[in-house]
Structures are given as C-alpha cells and as structure tokens.
Chains A and B, each alone.
Chain A
Amino acid sequence: MDGVSAPDLSFAALAPLLFVFGAAAVGVLVEAFAPRAVRHPVQVAIALTGAVGAFVSTLLLAGTREVTAAGALAVDGVALFLQGTIAVLGALSVLLFSERALDPARSAFVAVASVPAGSVRDRELATDERVQTEVYPLASFALGGMMLFTAANDLLVMFVALEVLSLPLYLMSGLARRRRLLSQEAAVKYFLLGAFASAFFLYGLALVYGATGSVRLSAIREAAVVDGGDTLLVLGLGLLVVGLMFKASVAPFHTWTPDVYQGAPTAVTAFMAAATKVAAFGAVLRLLYVAFGTAEWTWRPLVYALAITSMVVGAVLGLTQTDVKRMLAYSSIAHAGFLLTGVIGLGADGSGPGLAATMFYLLAYGLTTLGAFGLVTLVRSGEGEATHLSQWAGLAQRSPVVAALMALFLFALAGIPLTSGFTGKFAVFRAAIETGAWPLAVVALVTSAIAAFFYLRIIVLMYFSEPVPDGPTVGVPGLPTTIVLAVTAAATLVLGVLPGSVLDLADSAAVLVG
C-alpha cells in the first residue's frame, strides 16, 4: 500500500447527478428552516431547478464517453440519454405533484403522514389546506438514485443507487391524502417486497465478487471471458437479474406492481411507472452488456423466458382488470416484456440494433405512461379519483378533450401506427428479429394484439357507452397538469409521426463504455 490517493472525479461529467442531489439536499434544509407559508412554492421551484438543470447538463455533455469516479461511474451515450429521459420525466412528475387545482383540499398529498388514518385529527386535517412538502426532496433523491443507477459501472454503486431510488419511493407511495389505508398498505407491500428483492441482488453481488474478486463491471467481463461457466458466477448473475427485474416489474417478479400502482397517490404512480422503468432497464442493459456481454449464453435463455412470461402475464391478466390504475400496471408489466425483446436484440457482443431500440422505447413509453396517469388524476368523484372502469363510461360526452387525450395515450400503449408506441415496438421487434430471435417477436406480436383489446375496451367505453347518472366529474386542471398533458401528448404524436431525429439521437448515443 502506497498511501491513499484521491480518486479522479470529473465534476463536469457528474453535473446531472450533482444538480439533482444538490436540489434534494437544499430541499431538506428548506423543509427544516423555511416558514410553512412559503415552503410549497420554494420546494417546487428547487425540485424543478434540479431536474431541469440535470436535463440541460445531459444535453451539454452529449458526446462524452468516459469512466470517472475511480472507475465507479460510466458517463457514456446510454447513461446520458437515459439520464436526460429520467430528468424530463422527473420534472414533469414534480409538476404533477404540485397540482393544487384538483383536490378540494388543494393537494393530493396527506397533510401530516404520522397521524393515524381515520383518527379525529386525521379527519380534521383531511380538509385542511396544509400540505406535505417532503415529497419534493424525496422525489429529488429518488431521481438522483435513478440517474446514478443508469451510470453505475460497479455492482456496489448499482446497489447503493438501487436503495437511494427505492427508499424514497417506499415513503412516497404512503403519502396519499384520500384512501390513506390503501396508500399505507401499498407502502408496506412495496417496502417488504423491495427489501426482499434487494437482498437477492446483494447475494448475487457477493457471489460474483467471490467468483471474480471484483465488483467492477469491466473486471467481471474479463473474468467471464476466462471462466464464464463458473457456477458461482452464473448463480450470482441469476440473483442479480432477479433483483433488477423486480424493479423493472418483469413477471414473475411483478406481484407488487398492481397493488402499489393502485394504492400510491396517482402522481407518484406516474413517476414510479415512468422513471423507475427507465432506470431499471438502464442498469439491466449495463449489467448484461458490459459485465456479461462476453458470456452471453449465460443470460440469453433466462431473459428470453422472462420476456415471454412478462408479455403473457401482463397481457392476459390485464384483460380481467376493472380498475384503470391496475390495468395500467398490467400494461406496464407487458411493456417490460416488450422492452426485454429489445434487450435480447442486443445480439452477440452488443452489435445488434437492440440498444438504440430499447432506449427509444423507454423514452416513448415513459412519456406516454406519465400522460395516461396524469389524466387519471382528472377524473374524480366525491371521495377522490374515480378509477373504476365503470365510472369511465361515456366520459367523451362529459369531456371530449380528456377522452380524446386518453384515447391517444391508449393507442400509443397499444402500439397503433402514428403514435410513439408503434415506433418503439417496431424498433424493438425488428431488433429481436435481426438477431434471430423471431419466435420472441411472434409472441410479442400476439400479446400486443391481446393487450390492444383491453386498451380499446376503455376507448369503446368512453365513446360508445351512456354515461352513468351519478358519474364522476372531470376536474379542471391547473397550469402544472396542463403542461404535463400537453408535453406528453405532443411527444406521443411527434415520436410517432416524425421519430427520425430522436431515433438518430438514440442510435448515436447507443455506446456503452466500461
């Protein structure tokens, strides 16, 4: 040992992370010291500054390809593209959180989370205009964890990022103002299952460390070339994949998804559904391609089976749902399967078109899902959001605009041409076929058709059913939600009609270093 030397840190390359984590730290201080009256606008401004600053810095960093922080972080095309995507989704989610026009109590978040649900004090506070502002720093921390997750070049950093993104999300799922018991239940389930899954990830990390003597992805890659069939290494890879697939809500590790999506406040669900998926797939791509790219035969059959399971489970169980949020949860499981077809399309040594296709799909899916959940917050009955499907009957007569937007998002999720969903699906299926995985593409097409049924069922319900007499009202959104809906709808259309420039961007960014 020749003393301790300072690690090389490229602060410029870390700018996106520094922005978001900085915003989170400042947010905590504001929470502690700012007077209650100014806290809400200040917190929103800080969280937005962090996310927008991170997005701008990913744009400025475009073209950077370096490994920094003593080899622990890889700032490359994939990391920057996905960090930019996550930052945009994060900024839009913060806008959804800050909506104050919809709920009569002026916020979708509980006034004081520590008061027992249903107690006298809780009923007093339910109509109070006090709002919880912890959600903004929590969201910034989660955002930072997600962005770190996509750039982790080291299994330990990947694990820490996984926890940094998960812990705030567990808390945020429990913060709903209405239906607090459901929300708390969602938080308990998410926490226990999430901690269970991260224990598996960690055991995988330990076994891979034992097999290769390092947790650095590049070192694992070198060891896998020499001894890819080592039992410890393969076992470790399997456990790591379990941990990551849980976060990406891939069947059969999806059981938490519908419950948590339904119970969590809808704005938080939107954030979770859109941004977590991007982050988790960023880590999956990096793990499978950078660390195990040379031992491809070890994970290819596994991912193949997971993709088929996820597509079939998501599409078939989605058919039986009667709640909009649960239906979107099963749709997210099916889409995780479609994304895995893109991962398979990486091909041998990652030369296939799957990488760019998966990145484009993540961007398109994230924006569409965010918009769809944003619309769910608008349809309300007396006790909060009306999420039961029967309540959506005849919605087009009450509000043509909301019904038209929902139809657009559902078309995109179903993959109808001229929407972003079609472009994304076309790209990942083509990638799978070009790398010889055509049976997977056939399954994907069949399950797309099955899934299209339940999306179209909602559209039929909205347009061709008589409205129920005591049906829900459609709230008039304030500026934040309007911006979110406008941006996501525009993106869904533009990425469907003129996807060329973004596809080129994804192509040129499809470089992993490590």
Chain B
Amino acid sequence: MTITNYLVLAAILFTIGAVGVLVRRNAIVVFMCIELMLNSVNLTLITFARASGTVDGQVIALFVMVVAAAEVVVGLAIIMSIYRTRRSASVDDVNLLKY
C-alpha cells in the first residue's frame, strides 16, 4: 500500500472535522471535530515520518497529543462553566455578543 492512501485518508478526516466545526451546533461536538482535525494531522505526520525515514514526525505527533490534552482541559472547563449557567451547550444560544 502506498503512503498516498494514508495521506488521502488524513485529508478526508481533516475535512470532515473542519466541516463538522462549521455545521454542528453543540459546543462539545464542535470540540470533538477539532480533535478529529488534530488527529488527522497526527496521521499525516506519522505517514510523512515513515516515508522520509526520520523520526521527527513521530516526535511531533507526541507533542500534538500533549497539547491536545491541555486544550481539552481548558476547553471543557470553559464549556462546563457556561453549561452550568445556561443548561445548554448549543453554540446557537451563545448569542449575546453581536455587531
């Protein structure tokens, strides 16, 4: 199997994630779509590392996982605090600020 297949799969996953962020209405689901984008990047990195025979890509993927974990902590804390006030995690309800 050529590496192109993995790259195409990663690109498809990244696109699904990006479209999901734009169309889904629940903050948690939007956030999961962002995580999907990050993981598709990991797949891309590991594929390129395999193709070039260097380990850099694999190391970068580890860094991405650590950063993603930190992002989950901060993100869920923020979403949780607004959910406890409004009893809703829908991004459509978050509409006090406009114009």
What is A's interface to B at a CB cutoff of 8 Å? 113-114, 116-119, 156, 159-160, 163, 167, 170-171, 174, 180-182, 184-189, 191-192, 195-196, 199, 202-203, 205-207, 209-210, 213-215, 258-259, 262-263, 320-321, 326
Minimum CB–CB distance for B68 against chain A, Å:
9
13 cross-chain CB contacts under 8 A? A160-B63, A163-B70, A167-B70, A182-B97, A189-B94, A191-B75, A191-B78, A196-B37, A202-B38, A209-B57, A209-B60, A213-B52, A326-B99
A189, B97: Cβ atoms under 8 Å? yes
Instruction: Report B53-99 residues with CB < 8 Å from chain A CB.
Output: 54, 56-57, 60, 63-64, 67, 70-71, 74-75, 77-79, 81-82, 84-86, 91, 94, 96-99
Nearest residue (CB) in B for A156 is B60
Nearest residue (CB) in A for B37 is A199
Nearest residue (CB) in A for B48 is A210
A192, B56: Cβ atoms under 8 Å? no
Q: A117-B85, A192-B31, A192-B91 are in contact. Are A187 and B78 (CB under 8 A)?
A: yes
A184, B85: Cβ atoms under 8 Å? yes
* In the complex, chain A residues whose CB is within 8 Å of the CB of B30: 192
B85, A118: Cβ atoms under 8 Å? yes
* In the complex, chain B residues whose CB is within 8 Å of the CB of A159: 63-64, 67
The complex places the Cα of A163 from the Cα of B60 at a distance, in Å, of 14
* In the complex, chain B residues whose CB is within 8 Å of the CB of A167: 70-71, 74
A195, B56: Cβ atoms under 8 Å? no
B21 lies within 8 A of chain A by Cβ? yes
Q: A170-B74, A171-B74, A191-B74 are in contact. Are A262 and B97 (CB under 8 A)?
A: yes
B31, A195: Cβ atoms under 8 Å? yes
B41, A206: Cβ atoms under 8 Å? yes
What is B's interface to A at a CB cutoff of 8 Å? 7, 14, 17-18, 21, 27, 30-31, 34, 37-38, 40-41, 44-45, 47-48, 51-52, 54, 56-57, 60, 63-64, 67, 70-71, 74-75, 77-79, 81-82, 84-86, 91, 94, 96-99
Nearest residue (CB) in B for A202 is B41
The complex places the Cα of A191 from the Cα of B97 at a distance, in Å, of 15
Nearest residue (CB) in A for B47 is A210
Minimum CB–CB distance for B94 against chain A, Å:
5
* In the complex, chain A residues whose CB is within 8 Å of the CB of B86: 181
* In the complex, chain B residues whose CB is within 8 Å of the CB of A163: 67, 70-71
The complex places the Cα of A185 from the Cα of B96 at a distance, in Å, of 8
* In the complex, chain B residues whose CB is within 8 Å of the CB of A192: 21, 27, 30-31, 34, 75, 91
